[in-house]
């Protein structure tokens, strides 16, 4: 059972970027969807001026895994050094800006990628996005700490819950450090019946990360996904659940 | 696994149904089994089936029903139903990476939903 998205323009032109953590493939059907927001209990599709997609894998690992040998020749790519002096690779892929080697549980990595997009908009697009325009809606799909292959499923669930909680906290801490003044909305795509972590556990993780509000949207959404090693894809007709947590960036 | 300088030309498409455990990396919806097309870089049918069994073992899956095994030929009309966009991409990846790729077409959950 899926639903019909109400396609409504929200307050005219959307200036804000979408931001994703733990991105995988660059194929359009596998990208994390950053065009959905929940407003007044309704799911709305919004256009994005830009999307910043962050990826855990270092660029060369990602390039081999996703069969993109021509990445450096076909796309603009390079290295960006943020204020923390850490260098991260970026690439422009299908009009999105990707950052690689970004550990979502490390606020410094999140900050570097945000500063990278600010620099990118400033130097290539004639305007500078602010941190508040970049970190507004954050999207995560099917996080899985699957590298721990010797864990029992119960232990993997606990690991994944910690991973989600650390990621939520890290993104909020990054937003605070960048003086983002508005609340963050973090959206997670994960089937309630995902054996790696239930929808209820994801909401618990949001609450443990001090969400002011956390809920699962009432209708399921069609989303395709890929295993961490990028060898397997789920069916095109598979549905998932959308969970949303709102997090304050107030430091007092 | 796989040599990045080589290209693995010969590929088999294996249509089957496989059980998945909770730990299977492809199990994201609590399914008990998946139906899919495995894309296996191999020189012979037997080698392809062996490599698929290895893949299943590593990924907490097990063969339930073997539907069909096809040596992939580019632009084959009789394979056109099997070679969807996802499978086309998987074939390119399998040839580049020398690894088994798996495209689910259904899971026990998606079948329940229909």
CA B110 to chain centre: 18
% of residues, chain A, pLDDT over 70? 92
What is the pLDDT, as a whole number, of residue A7?
30
CATH 3.40.50 is the classification of domain A6-247: yes
Tally of CB atoms within 10 A around A32: 22
- Put simply, whether B107 touches A (Cβ < 8 Å) is yes
Q: pTM, whole model, 2 decimals?
A: 0.93
pLDDT band for position B100 (50/70/90)?
A: very high
3-state SS assignment for residue A187:
strand
Query: Is A237–B89 a contact, with Cβ atoms under 8 angstroms apart?
Result: no
Select the residue of B59, B89, B107 nearest A235 (Cβ to Cβ): B107
State the pLDDT at residue A6: 29
Pick the most confident of A13-27, A137-151, A158-172: A158-172
Give residue A9's pLDDT band: very low, low, confident or very high (50, 70, 90).
very low
pLDDT at A140 over 60: yes
pLDDT the model gives residue B99: 96
Query: Do the bridges between strand A51-54 and strand A96-99 make them parallel or antiparallel, or are there none, so unpaired?
Result: parallel
Please judge whether B28 and A153 are an interchain contact, meaning their C-beta atoms are less than 8 angstroms apart: no
The structural domains of chain A, with segments of one domain joined by +, span 6-247
**B21, B60 Cβ separation under 8 angstroms:** yes
- Give CA–CA dist A175/A183, Å, rounded: 9
Question: Tokens standing for B66?
Answer: 């073997």
Instruction: Give the chain B residue nearest A65 (alpha carbons).
Output: B97
Contact B29 A69 (CB under 8 A): no
What element of type H or E holds B63? strand B61-71
Helix or strand run (H / E) with residue A65: helix A59-65
What sections of A178-248 are H helices per DSSP? 199-208
pLDDT of residue A147: 66
Which candidate in B7, B15, B19, B29 is best for mutational testing of the A interface (most A CBs within 10 A)?
A: B29
Higher pLDDT, A2 or A162: A162
Q: What percent of chain B stands above pLDDT 90?
A: 87
ipTM above threshold 0.90: yes
A77: helix, strand or coil: strand
What pLDDT, on a 0 to 100 scale, did the predictor assign at position B8? Answer: 85
């Amino acid at each position: 059972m899926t639903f019909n998205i109400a396609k409504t323009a929200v307050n005219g032109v959307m200036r804000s970027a979408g931001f994703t953590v733990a991105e995988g493939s660059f194929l359009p059907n596998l990208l994390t969807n950053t065009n959905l927001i929940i407003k007044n209990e309704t799911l709305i599709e919004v256009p994005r001026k830009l999307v910043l997609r962050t990826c855990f894998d270092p660029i060369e690992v990602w390039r081999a895994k996703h069969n993109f040998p021509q990445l450096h020749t076909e796309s603009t790519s390079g290295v960006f050094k943020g204020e923390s002096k850490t260098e991260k690779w970026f690439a422009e892929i299908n009009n999105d800006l990707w950052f690689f080697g970004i550990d979502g549980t490390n606020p410094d990595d999140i900050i570097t990628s945000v500063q990278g997009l600010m620099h990118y908009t400033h130097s290539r697009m004639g305007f500078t996005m602010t941190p508040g325009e970049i970190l507004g809606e954050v999207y995560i799909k099917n996080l899985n700490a699957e590298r721990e292959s010797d864990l029992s499923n119960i232990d993997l669930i606990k690991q994944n819950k910690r991973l989600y909680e650390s990621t939520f906290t890290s993104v909020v801490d990054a937003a605070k450090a960048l003086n983002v003044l508005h609340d963050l909305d973090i959206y997670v795509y994960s089937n309630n019946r995902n054996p790696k972590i239930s929808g209820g556990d994801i909401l618990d993780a949001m609450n443990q990360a001090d969400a002011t509000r956390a809920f699962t949207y009432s209708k399921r959404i069609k989303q395709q996904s890929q295993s961490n090693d990028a060898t397997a894809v789920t069916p095109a007709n598979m549905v998932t659940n959308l969970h949303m947590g709102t997090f304050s960036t107030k430091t007092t | 696994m796989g040599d990045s300088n080589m290209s693995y030309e010969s590929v088999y498409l294996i249509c089957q149904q496989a059980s998945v455990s909770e730990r299977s990396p492809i199990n994201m919806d609590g399914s008990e089994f998946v139906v899919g097309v495995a894309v296996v870089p191999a020189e012979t049918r037997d080698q392809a089936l062996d490599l698929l069994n290895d893949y299943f073992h590593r990924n907490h899956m097990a063969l339930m029903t073997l539907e069909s095994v096809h040596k992939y030929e580019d632009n084959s009309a009789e394979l056109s139903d099997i070679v969807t966009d996802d499978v086309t991409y998987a074939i390119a990846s399998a040839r580049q990476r020398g690894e088994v790729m798996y495209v689910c077409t259904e899971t026990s959950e998606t079948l329940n939903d229909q």
